[in-house]
Amino acid sequence: MFQLFEKPTIKKLLSVKEGQTFDCKKAQIDKTDLSNLMIGFANADGGIIAIGIEESNNKNRIVGGIQNYSIKEERFLGFPSQWIIPPIKFSTKEIACKNHQNKNDKIILIEVEPSDIAHANRKDEMYLRMGDKNIKLNFEQRQLLVHDKGMTHYELSKVKNITTQDLNEKLIKKYTNQIQCSSINQLLTGRNLATLKNGELSLNLAGILLFAKQPEKWLDYARIRFLRYEGLTEKTGERINITKDIKIFGPLPIQIRKTEELLNSILREFTTLNKEGKFVTTPEYPKFAWYEAIVNAVVHRGYDRGGADIQIKMFDDRLEIISPGRFPGLVREENIRDVHFSRNPKIARVMTEMGFVRELGEGVNRMIEEMKKANLPEPSFKDYGDMVTITLQNKIQSRKLHEVHMTEKQLNKTLLESLIPAHQKIVLYTAENKRITTRECREILGKSRETAVLALRKLSSTEMQILIKIGKSGPKIHYILHPRIYNEKPDSNIKVQQQETLL
């Protein structure tokens, strides 16, 4: 069962990019080099090697095929089994095709399973797949790999007192259909999430985390905790500034979906006028950046760290995603763009096949690119020994500078002074914060919700045209200032309220 291609085709193989889990090689590849490449894949995330797909002289990928070369089956099955210590798990598949000379030919796909232990060759050389390269490890790197491979055994820990009744049937059936597997038992045992003995299914920790209805029954800290702080710092005791504290439970795929829904509803959007005079709405953070950070935390956290949950801390100026455990394997702050390692390979594989890990080994690079596109600072990745923190910063400081400038120099003073004090307060708050919601209006006025709604409705009416309503319904409705309030004389058609009749 090939994890990268449900139905591998020549078209897919010619177009897919070489990277963490895929490589192409000529049929003439030396059997030792091929075996060392397989070691690199097994020590990392596993992957597929396409034999007979090669580059032409002009660097385009072509089907060279294998028919013109004396490739014998033992070259792929026999020699690696003798050369690699201990032996790795792999399977092969032949695909009939036409080669670049339009002759009948075939290629061979080798799928290497990710391993729970470290592998070397008979010369005692150890390799690791890093991006699109196969790296020979030095002594220190070997020690780190062996240590972290030992930690991967934790996800294989057997769990007692669980039955199929404890599984999320809907979720597991969806996954079974996704990878076109014939039965749940075959799926769980085939993905090393369970063992079958005397007709009884016994799940391990990875299986529990992925598919149990309530994984917290066996691992009480297997959850995500969202914390919203008022201001820029975390305060405690009498000065505690937590405004939201939400715990998210369930199997890992559902935890991610629930967290995605939560952040979609909480993270702000900002609507501004661009140079063309059109309103443009931008999110506080690019969705890919925060979503990828959450997926990474769920997939790669150290589940052996008792009592520690994944935490998402939202401050006025930043979003922190905190994952228990240190950087996995050879990953370090300085090489995080180039080096990838799965601490929990069984979990990582399933989450990849379910579509959560969309760009295995490339997510960090895209996170950085998306933040740059949004004119935001690059994400920071810090390893504090017992936890890894990814920090995304927003534009609060530059927005505040712009807001102060707008408040002092850009508002039409004549129009502003013609408003009643309560409406002036609403306009000034909207100018400083770029937007206002019904809840915020109620808080700054100290009035009821009904009064706040009435005031906002009046200010955004065609009669006054002081505010513009953004959104039709739901929690994302907010109001921004009308362009007419920005340093121009009040339109003669606007009737400005002179008396306090609403409040």
Instruction: Kindly report, residue by residue over 20-38, the tens digit of the pLDDT.
Output: 889 999 988 888 999 999 9
* Residue 366: pLDDT over 60: yes
410 and 327 part of one domain: no
425 and 449 part of one domain: yes
Highest mean pLDDT among 138-142, 172-176, 209-213 belongs to: 209-213
254 and 355 part of one domain: yes
Residue 159, in any domain of the structure: no
What is the domain-level CATH number for residue 92? 3.30.950.30
CA distance 103 to 93: 20
311 and 409 part of one domain: no
Task: Show the DSSP H helices in 59-197 as ranges.
Answer: 73-83, 139-152, 169-178, 184-190
Mind listing the pLDDT tens digit for each residue in 252-285? Answer: 999 999 999 999 999 887 766 566 656 677 888 9
CA distance 472 to 434: 19
430 and 312 part of one domain: no
Can the peptide bond before residue 86 be classed as cis, meaning omega within 30 degrees of 0?
A: yes
428 and 457 part of one domain: yes
Lowest mean pLDDT among 117-126, 129-138, 355-364, 454-463: 355-364
How large is the average pLDDT for residues 383-409? 70
Residues constituting the chain: 503
426 and 380 part of one domain: no
Contacts of 423 (CB under 8 A, 6+ apart): 455, 458, 459, 466, 497
pLDDT band at 292 (very low <50, low <70, confident <90, very high): very high
Q: Which of 81, 116, 137 is the last residue of a domain?
A: 137
User: Which residue has better confidence, 351 or 488?
Assistant: 351
Q: Which of 81, 103, 137 is the last residue of a domain?
A: 137
Residue 191, in any domain of the structure: no
Within a 10 A sphere around the Cβ of 206, how many other Cβ atoms? Answer: 28
Residue 76's pLDDT is 58
What is the domain-level CATH number for residue 447? 1.10.10.10
Q: Which of 85, 105, 137 is the last residue of a domain?
A: 137
* Residue 409: pLDDT over 70: no
Residue 314, in any domain of the structure: yes
Residue 156, in any domain of the structure: no
Residue 406's pLDDT is 47
pLDDT band at 2 (very low <50, low <70, confident <90, very high): very low
319 and 412 part of one domain: no
370 and 242 part of one domain: yes
- Token pair for residue 411? 């508002």
Mind listing the pLDDT tens digit for each residue in 452-501? Answer: 999 999 999 988 999 999 988 777 899 999 888 876 543 434 333 333 33
320 and 405 part of one domain: no
107 and 25 part of one domain: yes
CA distance 200 to 206: 18
Mind listing the pLDDT tens digit for each residue in 179-198? Answer: 888 788 888 888 889 888 88
Q: Which domain holds residue 407?
A: 397-485
pLDDT band at 229 (very low <50, low <70, confident <90, very high): very high
Residue 316, in any domain of the structure: yes
Residue 498's pLDDT is 33
How large is the average pLDDT for residues 131-135? 88
CA angle 484, 480, 262 (to 5 degrees): 170
* Residue 296: pLDDT over 90: yes
* Residue 116: pLDDT over 50: yes
Residue 197's pLDDT is 82
SS3 percent helix, strand, coil of the chain, rounded to 5, is 35, 25, 40
CA nearest to 246, candidates 339, 182, 290, 311:
311
Residue 27, in any domain of the structure: yes
Residue 405's pLDDT is 46
425 and 366 part of one domain: no
How large is the average pLDDT for residues 36-55? 91
Residue 493's pLDDT is 40
Residue 116, in any domain of the structure: yes
The residue type of 192 is N
Residue 287's pLDDT is 95
Percent of the chain with pLDDT over 70: 87
Residue 170's pLDDT is 93
Residue 86, in any domain of the structure: yes
Q: Look at the chain and report how many structural domains it folds into.
A: 3
- Token pair for residue 3? 């994890």
Query: CA-CA distances (angstroms) from residue 414 to 465, 487, 489, 496?
Result: 15, 9, 7, 11
